[in-house]
Amino acid sequence: MSVSQAPARSFWVNTWEARVHPMVLSATAWRVGLCLVAAVWTGWASYDWAGARYNAYSDFAQLWFAARGLLAGESPYTVVGPGRAFDWPFQLLYPLPAVLLATPLSMFPLRVADALFMTAGAFALAWAVTRNRLLSAQWWVFCSIAFQTTLGVSQWSPLLIGAATVPALGFILASKPTIGFALWLAYPSRRAALVAGSFVGASLLIWPPWLGEWWQSLATVTHMAAPIAHVRYGGPLILLALLRWRRPEARLLAALACVPQSMFFYEALPLFLVVRRWYEGLGLCILNLVAMLNSPTGSPYDGAYDAWVYSTGDQIVLWMYLPCVVAVLCRPNVSTAASRTADSRERADSAFVGEELRV
């Protein structure tokens, strides 16, 4: 076809292309933008929903108060607990690195500190979700009951997930070493281990006796249990994931099954790292809802706390852990890179993974 025979193009099409063609956004810019949207929305929701808690304070409140005590020269393990300056149902169960990370936020009012904490957590979680592709099926995590619970009590799970996938943030894993270690086993990194170890060492220089004080606080715990301990509901079956031990999600399931934790829904947030397909993410969200509907009603602080938590853990194991194990067993026992290559043909949004994205 000669130039004279070429179909005429719309004036508006030519004008638009002339205006936007030079504007080429990298995949990183799109990724940062999406993460910022998730972070801002979460921060606003945290601030707006402040007060809608299981009890009078968020979970982060104890660290906020402990950080203020540390800055005043007091031991954070003597200011938090039943009948203490910060009247909390439990003694401080977090290690000092968690208190140190909360220290910069202690200068803000608690409501603002909660919102900033969740903003950072949501950005880290979104960054982890988009580590392989922008339109990841793991975005479903933001629609889950697990995330809503995390938002309601200002928990560490989003930050920990982000730290597990970014080795430079490995020091955050030391703030909750049980879940942090499970995530590290799934995504091992020497750099993350070194950073976390250095942070723990620095905390010993800041407050040398904290290890002993923390250990004494842990001795008072009666409500924590590992998912594997929920024998009646198939807890030990979670270890079948080790048949696919080369996959990070399989190691994650096995490690999470063995570490003691409060069996609330916010502790199930890392299970969304198992998701690889959109229907898996939607399915896990639905199963999360089913688990909640079958859990004890009311607040855990209204009655027998330990029994309430254990019963909720039964439902999490049955409706969330075991389906994740089935999903993992249906996959080949290959490393992340190999599985990514095998799955690439099924990614409908592969165009967004390129080196550059045009608008």
Tell me, yes or no, whether 17 lies in a domain. no
Average pLDDT of the segment spanning 297-325: 86
Of 17-21, 132-136, 281-285, least confident by mean pLDDT is 17-21
Residue 226 lies in a domain: yes
In this structure, is residue 216 part of a structural domain? yes
Spatial distance between the Cα atoms of 167 and 188, rounded to a whole number of angstroms? 9
pLDDT digits (tens, 9 = 90+) for 85-108: 999 989 999 999 999 999 999 999
Classify residue 350 by its DSSP letter. Answer: G
The residue assigned the tokens 């397909």 is 277
Please report the pLDDT score of residue 53 as a whole number. Answer: 52
In angstroms, the CA 141 to CA 76 distance is: 33
Q: Residue 329 above 60 pLDDT?
A: yes
Could you tell me the pTM of the whole model?
0.86
Task: Answer yes or no: is 228 within a domain.
Answer: yes
Locate 167 and state its tokens: 């080795």
Q: Does any domain span residue 19?
A: no
Residue 40 has pLDDT above 50, yes or no: yes
% of the chain exceeding 70 in pLDDT: 83
Please compute the mean of the pLDDT values over residues 295-306 and round it to a whole number. Answer: 72
Distance CA 23, CA 129 (A): 26
In angstroms, rounded to a whole number, what is the distance separating the alpha carbons of residues 58 and 151?
9
Is it the case that residue 279 has pLDDT exceeding 90? yes
Q: Please state whether beta strands 24-26 and 86-87 pair in parallel, antiparallel, or not at all (unpaired).
A: unpaired
268 closest CA partner among 282, 280, 256:
256
Does 8 fall in a domain? no
Residue 238 or residue 345, greater confidence: 238
Question: What are the C-alpha distances in Å from 161 to residues 8, 99, 118, 155?
Answer: 52, 19, 13, 12
Task: Compute CA distances 212 → 53, 77, 78, 173, 199, whole Å.
Answer: 31, 10, 12, 20, 17
Q: Taking the alpha carbons of 218, 224, 226, 229 in that order, is the dihedral positive or negative?
A: positive
Is residue 270's pLDDT more than 70?
Answer: yes
Query: Is the separation of the CB atoms in 227 and 235 below 8 Å?
Result: yes
Least confident of 85-89, 120-124, 185-189, 289-293: 85-89
Q: How many domains does the chain have?
A: 1
Strands 356-358 and 24-26: antiparallel
**Residue 26, pLDDT score:** 80
DSSP state, residue 261: B
Give residue 341's pLDDT.
47
Residues for the chain: how many in total?
359
Note the pLDDT tens digit of each residue in 223-264.
999 999 999 999 999 999 999 999 999 999 999 999 999 999
What is the residue range of 106's domain?
24-346
Per the structure block, which two tokens stand in for 52? 């809608």
Q: For residue 225, is it within any domain?
A: yes
Q: Which residues contact 290 (CB under 8 A, 6 or more apart)?
A: 319
Residue 30 has pLDDT above 60, yes or no: yes
Half-sphere exposure of 178 (CA within 13 A, CB side): 18
Residue that wins the pLDDT comparison between 351 and 225 = 225
Confidence tier at 347 by pLDDT (50, 70, 90)? very low
pLDDT at 350 over 60: no
Q: Provide mean pLDDT across the span 5-31.
A: 55
- Does residue 269 fall inside a structural domain? yes
Q: What is the average pLDDT across 156-180?
A: 96
